Amino acid sequence: MLISDYLDEEIVIPKLEVAAGYFQARELLLSRKDRFDVILLDLTLPDLSGEELVREIISISDNAPVIVLTGYSDIDFGKKCLTIGASDYLLKDSLNPTVLYKSIVYGVERNEYINQIKDSQKRYFDLFQLSPQPMWVCDIVNLNFLDVNNAAVQLYGYTKNEFLKMSTKDIVPHHEYLNYNSESAANLAQHVVHRTKNGREIIVDERSNIIDYNGEKARLVLAIDVTEKRKLQEELQMNTYLVENRERRRISSTLHDGLQQTILASLMRFENVKNNFSKIHEEKFTGRFKDGVGLLQEALEQTRTVAHKLVPIQIENEGIVFALDDLIGKNTPLNIVFDFRENIGEERLPVNLEILLYRIAQEGVNNIIKHAQATKVEFNLIRQEASVYLKISDDGVGFDVSTLKKSTFGLQSMRARVESLAGIFQVNSELGRGSTLEVTLPLSSGYGMVVGA
């Protein structure tokens, strides 16, 4: 009973149960309601021995740590025992109370740690599988699906086995929005257009993080279907646009048909008087008439400008390309060269996108003229397969992008509108190196009648 003596030296009143052979040990382990803290296994039992004995005891140990005791110094067999699940492998000849006690403590603590990991994995699995929202894990390099939950199966229509043979590219038809494989972007939040098995396109709000999955880095993605929510938002935006546009037309019409006509009539009368100044001998009236004419000309120009800003009539009549060309032509100082390139021509885009792009361009051009001190501006409007891309870059003085949130309310308002349509809004700049404004809008977010299409 050497082992019992060793335990008595290190442990206060140890509770021991001894089995003389494998079958007795088996009966003891299987009949016990609670788990042993540790199992000390002698390899020289009369009815079973060696690797088979170790495997059998580990299989019925109920996850209790198994410490193998032997009188033979066989390093390879010792490694084999540890590989198949033994907690430790001790030689009887070098055994003492301290060594045995440390091995037991190590085995118990290691086992508790392993059980905690298993419990954590189970909780993660339950959270993952029982989540009412679609979730999946994908490889950050090749974007292949590694695991999907039941909610993803229900939403997208693929079986789990089908998913595991696919890549996330198979459900994201517009790859310009896909940046799962950017490990530098550990936490991602984005609106993405996905495609289900039956071909239906849906808009999802994605949240994702880099995780450790089976020892490798992977991306855990939560995808919330916001298609119906987006439709309601678009309907609200459309109604708002119609109301705003109707009011702008009313004000513009009032300016044009009312005040503007009155001013024009007055101006014509003043011009008639001015043409007959030679017949008027009282010089004190000359200056007044000239001042009146100047004021009326200024008022007339102001009302035309206001009417134009209320309704960019070129968009409705001629389209976004003509309107942008007109915007650049009318706002270009002599010291700035604009290079406007586009591939849209006379094609029409959804009206809300045309107006939004025009307003963004208008804000960008105004900022360049006021602040950039630029000499050259590159202006690109490109229609892509499923989106439209606007880029405005200048060679001006640039600015610190970190200060953008504290100013330029107009651009921040445009950013909010672009992102509300699942678009991408980016401003890049460095002091002394110019600035670039880039906007990408999915054509699927467009609505409204297209005039002349």
Q: Which of 146-150, 262-266, 316-320, 399-403 has the lowest mean pLDDT?
A: 262-266
Burial class (CB in 10 A: 0-12, 13-18, 19+), 410: middle
- 2-123 is classed CATH 3.20.20.150: no
| Winning range, highest mean pLDDT, from 208-217, 293-302, 405-414 | 208-217
Q: Is 408 left (phi over 0), alpha (psi -120 to 50) or beta?
A: left
CA distance 256 to 278: 33
Q: Which of 68-82, 293-307, 375-389 has the lowest mean pLDDT?
A: 293-307
Q: Which pLDDT score is estimated for 345?
A: 86
Cβ-proximal residues to 250 (8 Å cutoff; 6+ apart), any chain: none
CA distance 176 to 194: 12
Express each pLDDT in 152-184 by its tens digit.
999 999 999 999 999 988 998 765 445 555 554
The two tokens of residue 113 are 């740690």
Closest to 22 measured CA to CA, from 65, 70, 54: 54
* Average pLDDT value over all residues in the chain: 80
Q: How confident is the model at residue 42 (pLDDT cuts 50, 70, 90)?
A: confident
The two tokens of residue 257 are 């048909």
CA distance 350 to 451: 9
CA distance 12 to 156: 60
Q: Which pLDDT score is estimated for 177?
A: 46
Q: Which tops the pLDDT comparison, 178 or 251?
A: 251
In angstroms, how far is the first alpha carbon of the chain from the final one?
97
Handedness of CA 109, 112, 113, 114 (dihedral sign): positive
Q: Which pLDDT score is estimated for 94?
A: 81
Cβ-proximal residues to 291 (8 Å cutoff; 6+ apart), any chain: none
To the question of pTM greater than 0.75 for the whole model, the response is no
Q: Which tops the pLDDT comparison, 7 or 396?
A: 396
Express each pLDDT in 405-419 by its tens digit.
545 556 777 787 788
Pairing label, strands 66-70, 88-91: parallel
Fold of 312-453: Heat Shock Protein 90 (3.30.565)
Q: Which pLDDT score is estimated for 156?
A: 95
Residue 206: phi and psi, rounded to 5, are: -100, 140
Closest to 444 measured CA to CA, from 391, 387, 389: 387
Q: Which pLDDT score is estimated for 451?
A: 41
CA distance 50 to 68: 10
- Distance of CA 241 to CAs 16, 238, 247, 314, 344, Å? 82, 5, 10, 17, 24
Side-chain half-sphere CA neighbours of 179 within 13 A: 14
Q: Which pLDDT score is estimated for 150?
A: 92
* Residue range 195-205: mean pLDDT, rounded: 90
Pairing label, strands 201-213, 337-342: unpaired
Residue 283: phi and psi, rounded to 5, are: -65, -25
* Residue range 55-64: mean pLDDT, rounded: 88
Classified as helix, coil or strand, 325 is: helix
Q: Which of 25-34, 60-69, 282-291 has the lowest mean pLDDT?
A: 282-291
Q: Is the pLDDT of residue 222 over 50?
A: yes
Q: Which tops the pLDDT comparison, 54 or 184?
A: 54
Q: Which pLDDT score is estimated for 46?
A: 86
Express each pLDDT in 421-430 by its tens digit.
778 899 999 8
Classified as helix, coil or strand, 315 is: helix
Q: Which pLDDT score is estimated for 306?
A: 65
Q: Which pLDDT score is estimated for 176?
A: 45
- 131-225 is classed CATH 3.30.450.20: yes
Q: Is the pLDDT of residue 148 over 70?
A: yes
CA distance 388 to 357: 9
Q: Which pLDDT score is estimated for 399?
A: 87
Residue 146: phi and psi, rounded to 5, are: -105, -30
Q: How confident is the model at residue 307 (pLDDT cuts 50, 70, 90)?
A: low
Q: Which pLDDT score is estimated for 380?
A: 95
The two tokens of residue 195 are 């495609």
Cβ-proximal residues to 57 (8 Å cutoff; 6+ apart), any chain: 22, 25, 29, 39, 41, 66
Q: Which pLDDT score is estimated for 450?
A: 45
